[in-house]
Structure 1
Amino acid sequence: MKELKEWIKSIVIAIILALIIRGFVMESFIVDGSSMLPTFTDNERVLVNKFVYRFREPRHGEIVVFPFPNEEDKILIKRVIGEPGDKVEIISEQLYLNDQLVDEGYILHDSAGKDFGPVWVPEGYVLLLGDNRNNSHDSRDPEVGFIDIDDIRGKTFMRYWPISKIRYFK
């Protein structure tokens, strides 16, 4: 009987710790679709740091997850392109950030997207784009638009599935 109580106590503690970690520290997400090719492919699994943005805002180049506006169950994964106050535009498939050409070695070849902007990112928001710009539902779409920093669920820091493609992201 004493052993059973110890097992139950251990299981309850493990469940509580798991809920705390998932709620406040990190969470697993499944990549849905091809908007982040070649960085991520459909059905890959990533771990997201939910803690980091309690202390600072998202930075250029970071990959974040967030709910589709007005659809909490639909989670998107995109790259931070514009921070608050930034001027962002795409001209002839080239990204310009604050009038400076950005080297985007991470995007899918010939996928910089149609001309866009210029737009200025408002305070408290970020502009997010997929790496596969020709097939991405992102901040260029009025349905998505700028994303409130408070709506970002976290920063992607690791792909853990498939095992053959495990990778940490800065």
Structure 2
Amino acid sequence: MGNEIVEWIKALAIAGLLVFVIRWFLVSPFIVDGPSMQPNFWDRERIIVNKIIYDIRDPKRGEVIVFHVPEEKRDFIKRVIGVPGDTIKVEGDTVYINGEPIAEPYLQNAYDQAHANNEQYNKDKSNSMFPNNSFPDGTVPDDMLFVMGDNRSNSEDSRMIGYIPMDRVVGRADLVFWPLKQFHFIKH
């Protein structure tokens, strides 16, 4: 009986250690807060963030990342649009990188629906401080990223908060796990 208890304690200690290592060093859960990433991510969805990928390589355009925003005392989820050295220009529904319009397949259905109604998806909210048409062209500095929410007319992103330092990046969003009916790996 005594040996069995010792074995159970060892097994539980190892399991606890594995959970700690996985949770703090490899992956982290994240809850989407707000509509800024619709139609691809919804408010209150739960995702798994891969925390080690950017220890191996830098973020790439199109990847969805989670990063710290100390001024807001919380983390944001956004899509990487520009990497260091890229020149960014946002004009209506077209995002230009280094003078070339980029394809955004993750928003194509939303663009098509808005355009079918003779509207822009990336609506100008000129009555507010939202800078859809006023974001100046800029070159992404070293060790920084330019990020945007998929819900372009309702996203606090690099057009408002500026470039994101690489050292604030928590990791890449890799899996939606809740609600269960939305369970899927995230395409980047």
Q: Would you say same fold, with TM above 0.5? A: yes
Q: Which residue of 2 is the match for residue 129 of structure 1?
A: 148
1:20-74 CA deviation, whole Å, 9 max, x = no partner?
Answer: 1111111111111100000100011111111110011100000000111334x51
The secondary structure found in structure 1 opposite 2:60 is coil
Q: Which residue of 2 is the match for residue 152 of structure 1?
A: 169
Q: Which residue of 2 is the match for residue 102 of structure 1?
A: 102
How far did residue 137 of structure 1 move? 1.0
Alignment root-mean-square deviation, CA: 1.5
| Aligned residue identity for 1:151 | R
> Which is higher, the Rg of structure 1 or of structure 2?
2
Mapped contact 1:95–1:112 kept (Cα < 8 A): no
Q: Which residue of 2 is the match for residue 161 of structure 1?
A: 178
Q: Which runs of 5+ in 2 are unaligned?
A: 112-119, 124-131
Q: Which runs of 5+ in 1 are unaligned?
A: none
Q: Which residue of 1 is the match for residue 159 of structure 2?
A: 140
The secondary structure found in structure 1 opposite 2:10 is helix
Q: Distance in 1 between matches of 2:144 and 2:58?
A: 10
Q: Distance in 2 between matches of 1:148 and 1:103?
A: 25
| Aligned residue identity for 2:74 | K
| Aligned residue identity for 2:140 | V
Mapped contact 2:59–2:80 kept (Cα < 8 A): yes
Q: Counting strand residues as a fraction of each chain, which structure ranks higher?
A: 1
How far did residue 111 of structure 1 move? 3.1
The alignment covers a number of residue pairs equal to 167
Q: Counting helix residues as a fraction of each chain, which structure ranks higher?
A: 2
Q: Distance in 2 between matches of 1:140 and 1:70?
A: 16
Matches within 5 A, 1:46-125: 46-71=47-72, 73-107=73-107, 108-109=110-111, 110-112=120-122, 114-115=132-133, 116-125=135-144
Q: Which residue of 1 is the match for residue 30 of structure 2?
A: 29
Identity of aligned residues (%): 40
Structure 1 window deviating more from structure 2 (95-104 vs 106-115): it is: 106-115
Mapped contact 1:64–1:155 kept (Cα < 8 A): yes
